[in-house]
Structure 1
Amino acid sequence: MKVGFALFLVLLVSVSEAKITKQNIGNFLRCLRSRTSPLNPITEALYNHDNSTFVSTYVSYTKNKRCSNPNDTNLIAIVAAKHESHVQETVVCAKSNEIQIRIRSVGHDYEGLSYISSVPFVILDMHNLRSITIDVSNKKAWVQAGATLGELYTKIAEASKTLAFAAGVCPTVGAGGHISGGGYGNLIRKYGISVDHVVDAQLVDANGKILNRASMGEDLFWAIRGGGGASFGVILSWKINLVEVPETLTVFKVNKTLEQGVNDVLYKWQLVSSKLPRELFLSAMPQITKGAKSDEKTIAVAFSAQYLGSAEKLMAIISKSLPELGLKREDCNEMSWINTTTFWADFPVGTPTSVLLKRPLEPPGAFFKSKSDYVKKPIPKEGMEKIWKMMLKFNNVWMQWNPYGGVMDKIPANATAFPHRKGNLFKIQYFSFWNDANVTDANLGSMKELYDVTEPYVSSNPREAFLNYRDIDIGSNLSGETNTEEAEIYGSKYFLGNLKRLMDVKAKYDPENFFRYEQSIPPLRAM
């Protein structure tokens, strides 16, 4: 009898919650329609499951097939904001009806946390807000959150041959999330990362107000530069300082395999890559390639460089610091900064820069998983051998070893919310991809094994991670829940000693924890 009564109560509560949720959804949609401006009607930006273009709107900006779910019944609607007011209206109406939002710039969220949830939610899609204004005389620019890096780079190059921006190498990444997470790129050793060049921002807060640096205050402005904007509000735009580059830069890519003695080259690379002149960025990319026989695999490392200067000067530096690479003059290509961006995006040399403006709008083509690490001491050769042995278990996997040093050793860890500064030799990105959903579990398992193999050779206590390489494995909360102890697990890896200040800022500006997701920063007192 008691069991039956208890079951009745559970069912009663479940039905009650379902009715409340359905009512909240209806109230949310009515709220949007009632608040909309006749000049900028939000109905033109609103998509739900009844729209014929709903699925295409969803999948156009989901990059990871592993996370894409256009038939998710928890997804109430997509607001593809066309005006700042659409962002404000969505925030106000979602908060007043206790509905979560997920903020998506251009969809390069490795774990899909900007477009999936296990509780009812709305996607606030920023891809239409993509204006860019370049001020050459003051070496500044305003860029909206939905603009891609390729669009930003193109605009800069159209205005000047000697200005650039310190950001990433993927042209389809959105400025909103990329910059707020740090913004790592190949100018890091000379100029630092993106957040080191942000001088102002526009953000919609939890009350639906548009704030700039002056009105948000320095604490919040500090937090959104590396702490991830989605924990604090909706980034509308960034004001950035542009940096100076010469008219001629030099790039090269040289491959070495295990059979060609790459272990010796890569070990030496670890010793010198963070100590090279700041103008030189020399990365290493271990990957699987075909062996001498058709049925064999081996490891090759692609050494890719960018130098702010001529090929002759670059040759002299490499000949002195890393002669083991065997660099030849014909390996080097001199070009403008804008042309280097197509090189780093893995297009053939000479590809027209118009390719930077393309936005892939087809459904995601592959499943993938990424992780990250920071390395403070050289990985011994026996350690590299263990890593290669594990990599060869995969079909498609690569690692990106990106050097630190240069100006990054001069910037304090608390200058912005991004903490990974002095003391790092290089950062690792792990990346595995596959096309068959049936092998997803096997690939995720193999990635975990690879991550475990590298543990002795990377940072520890905590094992650091890069926010922009989102990784749910390092800790997370469930959708709709906020456990501070769990948040401290992933937060300590992403933010190190900056976490407490970030939680203090959160408590001050979003005490009700409206802006939350599985790896968001909670208010300090949230339980």
Structure 2
Amino acid sequence: MELGYLAVFLTLLLPISCASYTSLENKFKECMLTQLDGSSESIEKITFIPSSPQYPQVLDLLEQNPRWVNSSSRKPLLILTPFHESEIQAAILCSKELGLQLRVRSGGHDYEGLSYLSKVPFVMVDLINIRSIEINLADETAWVQAGASLGELYYKISKVSKVHGFPAGTCPSIGVGGHISGGGQGMMMRKHGLAADHVVDAYLIDSNGKIHDRKSMGEDVFWAIRGGSATSFGVILAWKIRLVRVPPVVTGFNVHRTLKEGASNLIHTWQYIAHELDEDLLIRVIAQNSGDKSKTFGATFNSIFLGGIDKLIPLMNESFPELGLQAEDCTEMSWIQSVLFIAGYKKDDPPELLLDRITTFKSSFKAKSDFVKEPVPKSALEGAWEKLLEEETLAMLILEPYGGRMDEISESEIPFPHRKGNLYNIQYLIKWEVNSEEASRRHLHWAKMVYKYMTPYVSKSPRAAYFNYKDLDLGKNKNENTSYSKASVWGEKYFKGNFRRLAQIKTKFDPQNFFRNEQSIPLLNSNHS
């Protein structure tokens, strides 16, 4: 009998809840009309509510991780796809007025989906239409709006210069706004550092809807947004970046080795030399299983050298002869062709492929990360390969070498602190096709298991992690009043000693903690210490 009453009670609540959300949607649109002093037709063009026929398409278009597709309780109350900065300003003010959270999506690659998920009612601002790129070769800079993708940026650079590039990530569909906000490592970081190291100005909208450049936001905030979670401080409209010079010819290679061909010995040796190689040379290792029931292991030594084969081969013979690199293993190409090569295309494929923002094959995935300061014993590496072979779906460890320019930049220069003393970064990545609760639970368990296994061999006090490889297993803010000390559990892993300074800047710049998510920078004051 009690269950019957409960069912009736919940049934009565449902239309009230729906009515409440409908009321919020209408109030938000009315507020936008007031703020913009525009027509309802113009607001309707950029606003999508769950009942809109286009809503699922807009939501899913840049949702790069389908792991949350079936989550019905976390979708945006509204999606906004603005064309003008004034529409973003209005969205901020209206969200504040109605007590809604605001999340921003630039490319949809956020590893934990925080740009398009929330447990409380929220508005998602999708920057897909805020994506212009203006390049000035006279001073070797570019203004890049936050919704542009890395592929669009690389393509635009290549169209105006054969000797310029930009040091950022390897996946063309990643959004510039979030990538630079978390640091932005890539295949030229040993030569030029991170993407965030090359930001010289920015446009940021604060919680009051005011637009700031570097001068008006102040050097503290400008420091914070370059690698310290810009979404904790405001909405990035655009970055002004400094381009880098690249040679007319670069060389790439992929050398694959199995266990029988000595992959473990090679990776063990690689640990000792990869960070000390010539800074023009980056060799990363992708160690993975076969992703099927054959349960085989292979390692690919994936490299870009900023120069020709004639210089690369003698360098490899001297520094890493064990790999046995031959001239026929190498491919000379332009820098823009190397971007295609690293992204998995052929070097002669049309560069227009870089303009495709939609990931063709979307797989559910989970990632975690570590930094390595001392070479991992060979026996421990072999134990990690065994963990890979336990999985029948695709699982991998991606080892990205540091050293070179990364050793020369102070860990407090920007919030990204992982500089001198790191041999390499590890990304543990597992992908799966069957998007069920049971499958997700099983594969998430694998990620946690291999991460736990590596504990003795990676950085300590704190065990560090890369912010762009977002990982809620490290800890998360429970609500808007999460204390600094509780947030430090995850924050110091990403930012080490820079975390307190980030919290101090946040407290001054966004004292109401309007810009927040499960891993946003917390306030630091008497009530949040």
Shorter-chain TM-score: what band?
A: over 0.9
How far off is 1:75 after superposition?
2.3
Q: How many residues align?
A: 511
Q: Distance in 2 between matches of 1:352 and 1:192?
A: 28
C-alpha spacing 1:113/1:135, structure 2 compared with 1 (3 Å): same
Please list, as runs of the form range in 1=range in 2, the aligned pairs for 1:21-60 lying within 5 A after superposition: 26-38=26-38, 41-60=42-61
Q: Distance in 2 between matches of 1:234 and 1:296?
A: 47
Question: Which residue does the alignment assign to 1:418?
Answer: 416
Secondary structure in structure 2 of the residue aligned to 1:281? strand
1:141 and 2:147 correspond? no
CA contact (8 A) 1:24 1:99 kept: no
The one-letter code of the counterpart of 1:316 is P
Q: Distance in 2 between matches of 1:453 and 1:22?
A: 48
How far off is 1:21 after superposition?
7.6
Question: Which residue does the alignment assign to 1:211?
Answer: 212
CA contact (8 A) 1:251 1:307 kept: yes
Q: Distance in 1 between matches of 2:479 and 2:305?
A: 44
1:390 and 2:387 correspond? yes
The one-letter code of the counterpart of 2:350 is P
How far off is 1:485 after superposition?
2.8
How far off is 1:30 after superposition?
1.8
Secondary structure in structure 1 of the residue aligned to 2:77? strand
How far off is 1:67 after superposition?
2.1
Secondary structure in structure 1 of the residue aligned to 2:496? helix
CA contact (8 A) 2:477 2:518 kept: yes
Secondary structure in structure 1 of the residue aligned to 2:156? helix
CA contact (8 A) 1:199 1:241 kept: yes
Deviation sequence 1:360-400 (CA, Å, 0-9, x none):
177x7321101111000001101101101111111210111
The one-letter code of the counterpart of 1:344 is I
How far off is 1:295 after superposition?
6.1
How far off is 1:28 after superposition?
2.8
Secondary structure in structure 2 of the residue aligned to 1:400? strand
C-alpha spacing 1:401/1:184, structure 2 compared with 1 (3 Å): same
C-alpha spacing 1:322/1:167, structure 2 compared with 1 (3 Å): same
1:501 and 2:501 correspond? yes
Q: Distance in 1 between matches of 2:293 and 2:188?
A: 39
Among 359, 371, 377, the residue aligned to 1:380: 377
TM-score w.r.t. length of structure 1:
0.93
Deviation sequence 1:80-125 (CA, Å, 0-9, x none):
1111111100001111221101111010011111101111011011
How far off is 1:41 after superposition?
3.6
The one-letter code of the counterpart of 1:167 is A
How far off is 1:478 after superposition?
3.0
Secondary structure in structure 2 of the residue aligned to 1:456? helix
Question: Which residue does the alignment assign to 2:246?
Answer: 245
The one-letter code of the counterpart of 1:474 is L
CA contact (8 A) 1:102 1:115 kept: yes
The one-letter code of the counterpart of 1:93 is C
CA contact (8 A) 1:169 1:186 kept: yes
Q: Distance in 2 between matches of 1:73 and 1:361?
A: 22
The one-letter code of the counterpart of 2:136 is D
CA contact (8 A) 2:173 2:359 kept: no
Question: Which residue does the alignment assign to 1:179?
Answer: 180
Deviation sequence 1:463-508 (CA, Å, 0-9, x none):
1011101111000123555333331111011110000000000001
Q: Distance in 1 between matches of 2:451 and 2:136?
A: 44
Q: Distance in 2 between matches of 1:202 and 1:175?
A: 13
The one-letter code of the counterpart of 1:27 is K
Question: Which residue does the alignment assign to 1:112?
Answer: 113
Question: Which residue does the alignment assign to 2:11?
Answer: none
Q: Distance in 1 between matches of 2:70 and 2:217?
A: 35
Please list, as runs of the form range in 1=range in 2, the aligned pairs for 1:219-258 lying within 5 A after superposition: 219-258=220-259
TM-score w.r.t. length of structure 2:
0.93
Question: Which residue does the alignment assign to 1:151?
Answer: 152
Q: Distance in 1 between matches of 2:80 and 2:129?
A: 10
Q: Percent identity?
A: 43
Question: Which residue does the alignment assign to 1:127?
Answer: 128
Q: Distance in 2 between matches of 1:70 and 1:122?
A: 16
1:519 and 2:516 correspond? no
C-alpha spacing 1:102/1:410, structure 2 compared with 1 (3 Å): same
Q: Distance in 1 between matches of 2:457 and 2:139?
A: 44
C-alpha spacing 1:287/1:73, structure 2 compared with 1 (3 Å): closer
Question: Which residue does the alignment assign to 1:457?
Answer: 457
Q: Distance in 2 between matches of 1:497 and 1:365?
A: 36
Deviates more, 1:346-355 or 1:50-59: 346-355
Q: Distance in 2 between matches of 1:167 and 1:365?
A: 22
How far off is 1:299 after superposition?
1.7
Q: Distance in 2 between matches of 1:165 and 1:74?
A: 35
Q: Distance in 2 between matches of 1:458 and 1:338?
A: 34
The one-letter code of the counterpart of 1:140 is T
Q: Distance in 2 between matches of 1:351 and 1:74?
A: 37
Query: What RMSD, in angstroms, separates the aligned Cα atoms of the two structures?
Result: 2.2
Deviates more, 1:33-42 or 1:87-96: 33-42
CA contact (8 A) 1:119 1:480 kept: no
Q: Which runs of 5+ in 1 are unaligned?
A: 1-13
CA contact (8 A) 1:474 1:490 kept: yes
Please list, as runs of the form range in 1=range in 2, the aligned pairs for 1:283-302 lying within 5 A after superposition: 283-289=284-290, 296-302=294-300
C-alpha spacing 1:17/1:500, structure 2 compared with 1 (3 Å): farther
The one-letter code of the counterpart of 2:384 is I
Deviates more, 1:198-207 or 1:311-320: 311-320
C-alpha spacing 1:296/1:75, structure 2 compared with 1 (3 Å): closer
Q: Distance in 1 between matches of 2:162 and 2:75?
A: 48
How far off is 1:70 after superposition?
7.4
1:353 and 2:354 correspond? no
CA contact (8 A) 2:92 2:209 kept: yes
Deviates more, 1:62-71 or 1:465-474: 62-71
Question: Which residue does the alignment assign to 2:364?
Answer: 367
How far off is 1:353 after superposition?
1.1
Question: Which residue does the alignment assign to 1:482?
Answer: 482
How far off is 1:312 after superposition?
1.4
Deviation sequence 1:258-317 (CA, Å, 0-9, x none):
111111111111000000011111111101138xxx964222110011111111111111
C-alpha spacing 1:442/1:73, structure 2 compared with 1 (3 Å): closer
CA contact (8 A) 1:24 1:98 kept: no
Q: Which runs of 5+ in 2 are unaligned?
A: 1-13
Q: Distance in 2 between matches of 1:116 and 1:158?
A: 36
Q: Distance in 1 between matches of 2:344 and 2:37?
A: 44
Secondary structure in structure 1 of the residue aligned to 2:202? strand
Question: Which residue does the alignment assign to 1:432?
Answer: 430
Q: Distance in 2 between matches of 1:156 and 1:74?
A: 36
How far off is 1:352 after superposition?
1.5
How far off is 1:460 after superposition?
1.1
The one-letter code of the counterpart of 1:358 is D
Q: Distance in 2 between matches of 1:29 and 1:331?
A: 59
Deviates more, 1:346-355 or 1:379-388: 346-355
Secondary structure in structure 2 of the residue aligned to 1:320? helix
1:317 and 2:318 correspond? no
Secondary structure in structure 2 of the residue aligned to 1:419? coil
Q: Distance in 2 between matches of 1:482 and 1:95?
A: 19
CA contact (8 A) 1:60 1:361 kept: no
Q: Distance in 2 between matches of 1:57 and 1:21?
A: 19
